Amino acid sequence: MPSEKAAHPTAVLVAETSPLQRKLTGEMLDSFHISGVTFVKDSDELQETCRGQAYDLILLDYNLAKTNPLEAIPQLRSEGKNTQTPIILTYEKPPGERIENLLHQILAAGASGTLRKPVDAQAFRTLAESLTGRTLVSQPEEIKRVEESLQAARKAAALARSLHESGQPASAEQAYLGALLEILLGMAELRLAGDDPEGAGLLVREASEFAPQAPALFQERGKHFVERGNAHLKEKRFPLARAEFAGALHLNGEDLEAQAGLIHSLYALGEKAAAADSLRRALAGPAKAEHRLAYKRFGDVALRVKEYDLAIAAYEQALAFVKTDPILFYQQALVFTAQYQFPSAMNRLNKALALRPDFPEAKQLRDKIAAWQRAAEKRGGPPPKEEGGPG
DSSP 304-330: HTT-HHHHHHHHHHHHTT-TT-HHHHH
Between strands 12-15 and 57-61, the pairing is: parallel
Give the pLDDT score at 360. Answer: 92
Residue 364 in 3-state DSSP?
helix
| Average pLDDT by stretches of 10, the chain with 391 residues | 46 93 90 86 93 93 89 92 94 69 87 91 86 69 56 69 79 79 82 78 87 87 85 84 86 85 88 87 82 86 88 90 90 92 92 93 93 80 46 41
Residue pair 232/241 in contact by the 8 Å Cβ criterion: yes
- In angstroms, rounded to a whole number, what is the distance separating the alpha carbons of residues 224 and 74? 45
Confidence (pTM): 0.53
CA distances from 128 to 105, 110, 123, 133 (A): 21, 16, 8, 8
Residue 108 in 3-state DSSP?
helix
Residue 92 in 3-state DSSP?
coil
CA atoms within 13 A on the CB side of 112: 21
Residue pair 169/198 in contact by the 8 Å Cβ criterion: no
- In angstroms, rounded to a whole number, what is the distance separating the alpha carbons of residues 263 and 278? 7
What does the radius of gyration of the chain's CA atoms come to, in whole angstroms?
A: 27
| Cα end-to-end span (Å), the chain | 35
Q: pLDDT tens digits for 297-339?
A: 888 888 888 889 999 999 998 888 888 899 999 999 999 999 9
CA atoms within 13 A on the CB side of 242: 29
Residue pair 362/349 in contact by the 8 Å Cβ criterion: yes
Give the pLDDT score at 73. Answer: 94
Give the pLDDT score at 95. Answer: 52
